[in-house]
Amino acid sequence: MQIAQHETNGVTVLAISGRIDATVAEMFKQNLLDAIGDRPVRLLLDFGQVDFISSIGLRVLVVAAKRLAAVRGKLLFCCVEGPVREVFELAGFTSVAALFPSREAALASTA
Amino acid sequence: MAHIIATLVVGLGLFFFGLHMVGSNLKHASGRQFRALIGRFTSSIWRGSYLGVLAGATMQSPSAVTVILASMSASGLLTVEQALPIVAWSNVGSTMLVFVTLLDLRLMVVYLVGVSAAAFTFAHETRWRPILGVLLGIGLLFYGIDAMRSSAAGLPEFSWFPEVMAQARSSYLWALLIGILLSFLSQSTTAVAMLTVTLANAGVLGANEAMMVIYGGNVGSTFAHMILAGGLKGSSRQIGHFQDLFKITGSALFVGLFYLEIYGHVPLVKALTAALTDRLESQVALVNLFCNLTMAVVLSAFLGPVHQLLDRFWPATKAEDFAKLKYLHTRALADPDTAIDLVEKEQTRLVEHLPNYINALRPVPSGGRRADVRVMHQAFESLYQEVQSYLTRLIHLHLSPTTSERLTSVHTRHQIIGNLEDSLFELVSAVDQKPPPPQLAALVQNLTEALDFLLMSAAAAVTGQDSEDVDLLAGLCADRGELLGKIRSLYLSSEHSLAAADKSLLLSLTTLFDRIVWTVRRLAVLLQQNRQFRA
């Protein structure tokens, strides 16, 4: 798993690639928590290059969402497609998270 | 020779089948009243000791008593601590018969097998079937032992037998080995003792050799028992190894005393028995009694440390540890609100156990073993029923309206947790029985991860009772009907060319997944409603 971080229009964008499973869960969590810090940040996770996400990976997303709620930040997802989308839907994640088809659509929603 | 071997094989087969019947039917017969009855008979070391003497005297085989108790322990009917005094004193009970006469149980066993088999077949009242199954199992078990004994009874007919017995006169060690061999074959220390008396009376063995055959006989039944109890797992092994410790230590101690008496000229066991009686057969019977009585008294005095030692070398399995109540105890019933708090803690353990089932759905790592979902299910059932019994006792208490309302909610939660496990076990078993074809592998992997996530979220919500976790759980459990309908249509289309059995698996998996999500939603809604009790 690799993560590229940059800022666009006041939104912290994390472009993730590879597999998010138990072997990288701790690193993934630390990256997300570092990106959030203690500011009311708007965090956009770009899943366009993610091949697989395990249950542990989803739990890390819950931890990040709770942390963002505590600092009054916002969590958005974009480009969640294919098998990863199916896991999101089956897990019910699509009902509780803000998913956008593209990075542009996600950024536009924060404007 | 062929007939002896065939009889031995029949005996072994019937022994194992009888044991299986006892174990499987005991699980069904483990109602609260039956447990209470067992508990009453084993409530103290002394009651267990009486029961042990009685069991040993009537069954004539401490090994059979040990294996039955280990099976009962594995079924959760009694604890290792309750079983140990029974095992120890069954050895003493088995020596009593040598003084009277070797009871012929064959006729009784034949009637037991015949009557219980007929009753088991025609009993329509399901309440009695497990009890009849246990009786039939015990009957078959003893029929098997009897068959093994009759195969051993044919030994003197062989030309080499008198030569082997003559060897016993030439060396005490040979006498010991012959005792081990005879006991191993006959499955009965009592039978060896009776045979030794006969051979001593016939002049084939002297008093010293007869003593060594008796000591060897005590060890030999242990080797047989080790083989017969080889399939036992977890703490039930402690019961078997306690019997091994009893016999091996007892024999080693008395062999040591024997050599000290013979070569050191210190009057010990032989001198004592000779002082008590002139008759050789009575002396042999007394040697047998002293050997077993000494160990029963010593081990009963140190039962606690001995159990700790056994627990260190043969610890309980994870499933056994899980199946034991951790928080609930009878004293808490005096304060119903505290009792309900403790029930909630046990329920949390039940929910936290569920994500472990998911490991059985994942591919097995190289060199690893697939998680056994049946063992997990059995452990869950055991703990679930214990908590259920406790809830039933709580319901019969006089409760305030608020406590009563809280108890109703906890009771409902218990049913939901039971339903959740039922569906999960069914889903995992479906995949276990019919591994998915390559076309369904990706879907099964996604269902697995989603299910694991939902169960972990449910465990987090139940454990912390945090509003945020509970609300998240409720949000995650939105209706999946439409989504699962689309998935079914996609995979059932001709493009995936699934075989009929695979289509059936697909329908089972999606239906059960839907049911699990619906059940988790019921749990989440109940947890949301319960906030009033925590306010």
Q: What phi and psi, each to the nearest 5 degrees, are found at residue A10?
A: 75, 10
SS3 content of chain A, % helix, strand, coil (to 5): 45, 35, 20
Q: What phi and psi, each to the nearest 5 degrees, are found at residue A15?
A: -95, 110
* CB-based contact A35:A44 (threshold 8 Å): no
**B82 pLDDT tier (thresholds 50, 70, 90):** confident
Q: Of B363, B482, B462, nearest to A92 (Cα)? A: B482
* CB-based contact B247:B219 (threshold 8 Å): yes
pLDDT score of B102 more than 50: no
Q: Tell me the pLDDT tens digit for each residue of B160-207.
A: 666 776 666 678 888 899 888 878 876 667 667 767 766 666 666 788
Cα B123 to Cα B260: distance, rounded to the nearest angstrom: 60
Q: What is the pLDDT, as a whole number, of residue A60?
A: 96
Average the pLDDT over A47-71 and give the result: 94
Q: Which residue has the higher pLDDT, A60 or B232?
A: A60
Cα B156 to Cα B409: distance, rounded to the nearest angstrom: 71
- The helix/strand count (H/E) of chain B reads as 24, 0
What is the value of pTM for the model shown? 0.68
3-state secondary structure of B148: helix
Share of chain A above pLDDT 70, in %: 100
* CB-based contact B414:B348 (threshold 8 Å): no
Lowest mean pLDDT among B339-353, B370-384, B420-434: B370-384
Q: Which residue has the higher pLDDT, B167 or B107?
A: B107
Cα A46 to Cα B473: distance, rounded to the nearest angstrom: 24
Cα B526 to Cα B29: distance, rounded to the nearest angstrom: 33
Q: Do A69 and B478 make contact, defined as CB atoms within 8 angstroms? A: no
- Give CA torsion, residues B165, B167, B171, B174, to 10 deg: -60
Q: What is the distance of C-alpha B49 from the center of its chain? A: 20
CB atoms within 10 A of CB B158: 12
Closest-CA distance of chain A to residue B514, Å: 10
Alpha helices in A24-54 (DSSP H): 25-36
Share of chain B above pLDDT 90, in %: 36
Q: Tell me the pLDDT tens digit for each residue of A22-46.
A: 999 999 999 999 999 988 999 999 9
**B101 pLDDT tier (thresholds 50, 70, 90):** very low
Q: Which residue has the higher pLDDT, B257 or B61?
A: B257
Cα A98 to Cα A104: distance, rounded to the nearest angstrom: 14
pLDDT score of A14 more than 90: yes
Cα A56 to Cα A23: distance, rounded to the nearest angstrom: 10
**B221 pLDDT tier (thresholds 50, 70, 90):** confident
Q: What is the pLDDT, as a whole number, of residue B229?
A: 60
Name the closest residue on chain A to residue B355, using Cα atoms.
Answer: A55
Average the pLDDT over B217-227 and give the result: 76
Q: Of B314, B312, B317, nearest to B376 (Cα)? A: B317
pLDDT score of B516 more than 90: yes
CB atoms within 10 A of CB A14: 18
SS3 content of chain B, % helix, strand, coil (to 5): 80, 0, 20
What average pLDDT does chain B have? 83
Lowest mean pLDDT among A2-6, B366-370, B488-492: B366-370
**Minimum-distance CB partner of A91 among B445, B453, B468:** B453
* CB-based contact B141:B16 (threshold 8 Å): no
Q: Tell me the pLDDT tens digit for each residue of B234-268.
A: 777 889 889 989 999 999 999 999 999 999 999 99
* CB-based contact A46:A105 (threshold 8 Å): no
Q: Which residue has the higher pLDDT, B200 or B418?
A: B418
**B44 pLDDT tier (thresholds 50, 70, 90):** confident
Judged on CB neighbours under 10 Å (0-12, 13-18, 19+), B398 is: exposed
Closest-CA distance of chain B to residue A108, Å: 25
CB atoms within 10 A of CB B333: 16
Q: What is the pLDDT, as a whole number, of residue B230?
A: 62
Structure tokens at B77: 């009917």
Closest-CA distance of chain B to residue A84, Å: 8
Name the closest residue on chain A to residue B476, using Cα atoms.
Answer: A92
C-alpha radius of gyration, chain A, whole number: 13
pLDDT score of B100 more than 60: no
pLDDT score of B348 more than 70: yes
Interface probe for B, chosen from A50, A56, A90, A93 (most Cβ of B below 10 Å), is: A90
Cα B416 to Cα B526: distance, rounded to the nearest angstrom: 10
Q: What is the pLDDT, as a whole number, of residue B119?
A: 87
